[in-house]
Amino acid sequence: MKLLPRTIRARMIAGLLVLLALSCAVLGVATSLAMDRFLLGRIDQQLAGYGAEFAASLEHGEDTRGQARNTFGARLVAGRVTQAAVVSREAALPVQLSSQDKQALAALPVGGPPETVDLSALDDYRVRAVPGRDGDVLITGLSLHGVEEAVARLQLLELSMFTGTLAVAGVAGAVWVRLSLRPLQRIATTARKVSELPLASGEVTLGERVPDTDPRTETGLVGAAFNRMLGHVESALARRHAVEQRLRSFAADASHELRTPLASIRGHAELALRDRGPMSDDVRHALNRIDAESGRMSELVDELLLLVRLDEGRPLAREEVDLTRLAIEATGDARAASPGHLWRLALPEDPVTVTGDPLRLHQVLANLLSNAGVHTPDGTTVTVAVRRLPAGVEVSVSDDGPGIPPGLSEEIFERFARADPGRSRATGGAGLGLAIVRAVMAAHGGSVNMRSRPGRTEFRLLLPG
Ligand SMILES: Nc1ncnc2c1ncn2[C@@H]1O[C@H](COP(=O)(O)OP(=O)(O)O)[C@@H](O)[C@H]1O
Ligand SMILES: [Mg+2]
């Protein structure tokens, strides 16, 4: 299979050339066979016309008048060749025949049709044996040299003509096939351009269309079908975009609308808790729960709103942010929140700055640090390191806690994804922390990745600049 050419173009040209070569070969064989038979027929006629005069004359002397050059004559007596001669320049020259030649001549059917024999002393000869007058056999032959030469010439001529035809047909065929397949090439080009478009999300316009759509041609049919398919894809993508947009504005509106009543619940709970009047322990406990849970809910709503805004691609603040100071502050907050952990900082001597949104970047670090505090047991060491790399700045948060199960390393960044869904909601949040980290990093043109095994979990942030 490897020998077969791959492209349609190569296959078509190869097929064309093979067919042409086959027809040339058939034509060549047929014409040279026909030519050979025609010339042999003429020689046989000549032989019949000559009769056996020359062979008969061998007995008496050199009567070669009227004989064509190279005419061969021989006489057989009692099945043995007694004389043999060939006409050369008006004279008959005796020929020394080999024993094989003699056998071949002796085996000729007397009075039968002419036959071809290969006389080793001379050329190929067309010979005919006729019975003589006194019981001998007279053989007359005509040289086939001329016939063979004519056929060889014809074959040579045909060979050169066929070679030339094949060469011209190869070149012209290649050009022709290339021209015919051009519409296919254009479809492939359009398909490639479309495949390179980012179709995964957002608003997409598929401007590309195949130019050849003539329904009378095969490629035109393919092109038209392809264009129709592009149209369908385009409208499906537009519909998806509209749905996304609606969903997003719904989430934004819902979170926004929830904020005010939540704030009001919290305010009232606080107010009630501040009341100095008599209050049973149960009521106080219930009010405390309302206060705490509404606080958590507000955080959740704020996180949702932030994610929606990042999805919408709202521009972030672009300021110079000192990452070293950010790391020190965030670690200080984490230390205060989880005093049972060991918090370490690995910072370079000089401050490292990037351009970005300080509030959002602070939130990213706070999320990673609170995870390291909340999802690992007391006594865990957490290290925050800032490094300048050739490609940008790297901030890493690593801990020696139990780690995240393998297989969840990508999933963990999804919304509401938690490594242990059965765990009570009291520890950690709703599973939006890492989704926010990823969205904020993407909005900064950076990235986040995670590597974890039991005993070492590391989140690495990469920021350009
Ligand atoms: N340092 C860590 N060690 C172990 N598990 C972690 C760590 N950081 C994150 N996780 C896991 O990743 C999940 C998702 O984190 P996150 O998106 O911040 O959600 P949340 O903290 O609200 O649960 C967490 O629920 C936790 O199971
Ligand atoms: Mg978290």
Measure 351 CA to ligand 2 centroid, in angstroms: 27
pLDDT of residue 49: 83
Of 187, 460, 435, 429, give the one whose Cα is nearest residue 306: 435
In angstroms, the CA 409 to CA 450 distance is 6
In angstroms, the CA 25 to CA 277 distance is 117
The DSSP line for 304-324 is HHHHHHHHTTPPPP-EEEEHH
Q: Which ligand is nearest to the Cα of residue 436, counting in written order?
A: 1
Residues with CB under 5 A from ligand 2 (ion): 371, 428-429, 433
In angstroms, the CA 74 to CA 140 distance is 7
Dump pLDDT digits (tens) for 25-56: 999 999 999 999 999 999 999 888 877 777 77
**93: which strand partners?**
86
Of 255, 169, 237, give the one whose Cα is nearest residue 199: 237
Dump pLDDT digits (tens) for 237-276: 999 999 999 998 999 999 999 999 999 999 999 999 998 8
Instruction: Provide the pLDDT confidence category of residue 76 given band limits of 50, 70 and 90.
Output: confident
pLDDT of residue 140: 87
pLDDT, the chain, mean: 89
Measure 211 CA to ligand 2 centroid, in angstroms: 53
Does residue 454 contact residue 403 with C-beta atoms inside 8 Å? yes
> What's the token pair of residue 300?
């959740």
The end-to-end CA distance of the chain, in Å, is 53
Residue to mutate (ligand 1; options 418, 424, 425, 450; most atoms within 8 A of CB): 418
- Per DSSP bridges, beta strands 342-346 and 381-389 are parallel
> What's the token pair of residue 80?
């043995």
Q: Looking up tokens 């050169």, which residue turns up?
A: 160
Does residue 123 contact residue 72 with C-beta atoms inside 8 Å? no
- β-sheet with 115-118: strand ranges across: 91-94, 80-88, 72-77, 137-143, 124-131, 115-118
pLDDT of residue 54: 78
Outline where 107-181 has alpha helix (H).
145-180
Does residue 115 contact residue 106 with C-beta atoms inside 8 Å? no
- Per DSSP bridges, beta strands 392-399 and 456-463 are antiparallel
200 by DSSP, 3-state: which? coil
Dump pLDDT digits (tens) for 164-209: 999 999 999 999 999 988 888 899 999 999 889 888 877 888 888 9
What φ, ψ does residue 421 adopt, rounded to 5°? -65, -20
